[in-house]
Amino acid sequence: MYEENPFCTRRIKPGAIPFYFPEGISLQTLIGTLRENAWCGQIIGPHGSGKSTLLAALLPEIAESGRRIVHLELQDGVRQLPLSDADFLEMNENTQLAIDGYEQLSYWTRRRIKSKSAKQGFGVIILGHEPLEYPDLYQTSRELAVAKLIVSRLLENTIVRIPESVIEEHFELYSGNLREMLFSLYDVYEEAYRTLKGRR
């Protein structure tokens, strides 16, 4: 029977893998920080460091707090929000706007969001690579220890084991970009799986 590759897109997309916090930090501590900052904050970090994964874990907790989620994932090059004036009018103090790719928006679009948030009371969470104009919520980083932990969890129910040296090699190859590193291990897994099955 074929064993699904744990490094397929479905298994490693944001939300499929839990976000691993350092000791002393949890989703609940971040919710507390958001409350203190009128539900506004920024998640900052390099490409592939877990920003989208963290947001995917955070949004259900925010919804549990009774807030309506408006989640926007902007494609590269998008300078305007895909929201109409009517969409904005529906936002109030119980709305949580979350924007992945905020930093590519034009200056005037950012100002418009800030102005409407202040006037209507809705919260804003942004994801970016450099600090912007919102309170700090969390800063993600590329850590080899986290990469190894994720790989070990993905392999828990499989017959394949990937040596730490291979994980280290791929982590280095992709400059710590966890997303790209995990994608690259798809072929490593396939080859190891076929080799093991061929011996049986």
**Amino acid letter, 177:** N
Confidence bin at 91 (pLDDT 50/70/90): very high
Q: Measure the CA–CA gap between 46 and 49, rounded to whole angstroms.
A: 6
Q: Measure the CA–CA gap between 171 and 141, rounded to whole angstroms.
A: 13
Q: Which residue has the higher pLDDT, 76 or 66?
A: 66
Report the CATH fold assignment for 27-139: Rossmann fold (3.40.50)
- Tell me the C-alpha to C-alpha distance, in Å, between residue 153 and each of 11, 65, 123: 11, 29, 34
pLDDT for residue 200? 58
Average pLDDT, the chain: 93
Where in the chain are the domains?
9-16+142-198, 27-139
Beta bridge partners of 73: 100
Lowest mean pLDDT among 15-19, 85-89, 93-97, 177-181: 15-19
Count the Cβ atoms, other than its own, within 10 Å of residue 110: 17
Q: What is the pLDDT of residues 95-149, one digit of tens each?
A: 999 999 999 999 999 999 999 999 999 999 999 999 988 999 999 999 999 999 9
Vertex 156 angle, CA 153 and 160, to 5°: 115
Lowest mean pLDDT among 18-27, 32-41, 91-100: 18-27
CA 4 to chain CA centroid, Å, is: 23
Radius of gyration of the chain (CA): 19
Q: Measure the CA–CA gap between 102 and 95, rounded to whole angstroms.
A: 18
Does the pLDDT of residue 2 top 90, yes or no? Answer: no
pTM of the full structure: 0.85
